[in-house]
Structure 1
Amino acid sequence: MSWIILIISGILEAVWATALGRSEGFTRLWPSVVFGGAILLSMGGLAFAMRDIPIGTAYAVWVGIGAALTVTWAMVFGGEPTSILKILLILGLIGCVIGLKLVDDSH
């Protein structure tokens, strides 16, 4: 269950990071509200997952999921430039997150 919560929390990290960018310094109401809710749920889920998953692994997975999704979202919907190199680096990041999960399960 902790891994599922951690993955959801990583997804919520991408939500709050994107909302933070769209809040324009907290001057826009709804992106600011989404940011507040998503960061509370994301951090709460991370804290819950850290009860069963080592802190280094949990944090790295949380950040990796959030970073990969945030960059992907920005490339697809936010006008951020896309390149083959960026896509390969995101895939590498995802591979590292999967690797951390597999290493955690084997110990």
Structure 2
Amino acid sequence: MATSKLREKQVEARIVKRAREHGGTAYKFTSPGRRAVPDRILVVPCFDMIPFVEAKRPGEVPTPSQEREHKKLRNAGAVVFVVDTYEKIDWMFEQLCNGACK
């Protein structure tokens, strides 16, 4: 499938698939009463951390409210990734499994 035709749902499905391939889980993150939280929380054995992931359609960027939420999480020491292609997802897993995101 051409990257430009990917939907956000397909990007999220790839995140879930890659987490399972690494023996982990990509939890769907919802927070009642709080909008703009990242889509997924990754819990994967080879990671040295538990990152948050925002999935987007190719070329899309987080909304201003999502950016504010990501900034709050990062300021608290969390790692937040924004991915919009399969290649970025694969890169993210490579970085996390190799401990490059410490």
TM over 0.5: no
TM-score, normalised to structure 2's length?
Answer: 0.31
TM-score, normalised to structure 1's length?
Answer: 0.30
- The structure carrying a bigger helix percent of its residues is 1
